[in-house]
Structure 1
Amino acid sequence: MDNFDRLLRNENMWFKAAVLVAFFVFAMVIIGTIISLGNAINAEQRGQSIDVVYKLGLIGAGLITFCTVAWRGLIATQQSEMQRLQIDKLSQQIAATEENNLATLLQKGAELIDEEKLGQVAAGIATLQAVATAKNAKFSVEAMNLLADYIQNNHHAKHEGVHFHSARKALEAGNNLGRVAERTVFFEADETADETDTWHSITGVQLARYKGGYAFSGLFDSGKPTLGRQQFNGVTFMDGSMDVHARHFACIFRNIDVQTIKTMKWSRNRFVDCNFSGTSVEPMASVTDIRAGNNWYDVKNPPNGDHSFEWGKYLLPVTEAE
């Protein structure tokens, strides 16, 4: 069956068939005409014989047409397949060229980002971002690794400077495309850190760990897609609203509207001047008396919306009039 199928798909076979059919039809018509004219007794018989030869000729012409149509169709299919193969080959060549260009950019970016001149560092970060966010993602992880290494080596104690923010945004751009560096970064505030030296959210890495220092809650809100890749130890969060998770340990929350507490022990962190109105609390959480820190809730909107629980033993109750 396979051999027969290949035979039917052979355009040369249909061309030869069309030529042979044409030859036999031509011969048949000539011979049939001669015989009809020679044997006919009268004009009526001669007309009937010629009519038969004419109809046989039409059948032959139909066969020739069928063979030529099949031949042309196979030729068109073959040409289309050749064009597809040429396009695929060209696409592979273009992809190979793009990969070579990206490899060159990666190497150049790695060299520039390690320079001492500020302009060269900026060019290196921009180059690595181009590789990290390129449509061809073959070298994106390597580029993001270099960006994460730059931040770790140069900004482990303070998140400041134009180059830091450029590298952070480059990692974020890669993260937005679903690309993540193969790095864990660790930041620890030095003794001189104050409220003006705040941490920033680093995305696009396996894990970002922060120790000590300060942070504005808005930079680490629960809407960040990679918040689960961050851990905090002894960090002071200031102002705004946010969720408190198990990844917060020995942290201080100051003047925060607490949206959710997803930790079983409140005592693992410290709260100061925080609003717990309508806060979602884990059902089995170990609630601690934190009234001394001036933490409060609206009596009309207690945590979990639970008016039956004695929240006044743990938080300062206030009313709208207050």
Structure 2
Amino acid sequence: MSSLISGMSHVRLSAPDLDRMQAFLEDFGMILAGRDERRLYMRGTGDAPYLHVTELGEPGTISFGYQVTEPDRLADLAALPGAGPVEPLDGPGGGKRVRLSTPDGLTIELVAGRETAEPLPPRTLIRPPDGESRTLGPARVVRIAHTAFMTGQLARLIEWYQHTLGVIPSDELFLGDDGGVLGQFDRVDLGEELVDHHVVFLLRGRKTGMHHVSFEVEGVDDIFFGYDHMTAAGRDHVRGIGRHALGSQIFNYWMSPDGQMHEHWISAERLNAESAFNRILIGEGMSYDTGEKPPRRFVEQATPLVTFQE
């Protein structure tokens, strides 16, 4: 078991209107976990006390939070180059964190000691005597799955994630005619334990920032009636419904009111430390995917970084 992290704990974004962000995230399928004048905390149906933090401020990306595999080592992590001290973690569930910075300047929060929340009961799948085969309302978000990040220094960022956090590559995308590496999917290494196809996707681009943040939903039906609910609510749809061949992932992408892309996601493929690493030659527009060609704003999306506010 060599990864420093076991998975994501939360994403921390910023927005100028917390009411507006809360309404978007409730339509997206999250539940209010806590709120004050400066911060909004939203949870899913799983046992995490929150998955999504919005800080009051200009629109942007503040940090990615990861759960560490060995909580007792948090003090050791504070000794890593450029790391901050062990400090209390804000929000429901408490806990502690150590903050690092990637070569691009993104803050990474290494988290331990959060108290779990009571999971919400799953949707009833047995039709009652007076029921019918219809589901209305938002998707049910369970947990945070991964992020994608665009960078102008891809090789350096891949090396940082692998050396510092101990992630390992699942698939790498490259272009023909000496176009070079376009991106790499990296997963956590928990030995024989099965994990997601990736916890982060690092992709090459002219901008620096979060491409999207992805949340697992309770079942594949959530992708579809979540689409209906978000559409009826007038939300900004970016891409989907479709399927990523890598990871066997069903997806749908939505833009927040402040330009931060959120994904409804569910996957049928799991990997462990022994799973093969593949290099994939791709065509224009990620041609291995199922569904429509991705629009330009999907390909070029990168929510810029903003400073962590104390």
Bin for the TM-score computed over the shorter chain: under 0.3
TM-score, normalisation: structure 1: 0.20
Using the size of structure 2 for normalisation, the TM-score is 0.21
Highest RCO, 1 vs 2 (Cα 8 Å, sep ≥ 6): 2
Q: Say which structure is richer in helix.
A: 1
Q: Comparing both structures, which one devotes a greater share of its residues to strand?
A: 2
Higher Cα radius of gyration: 1
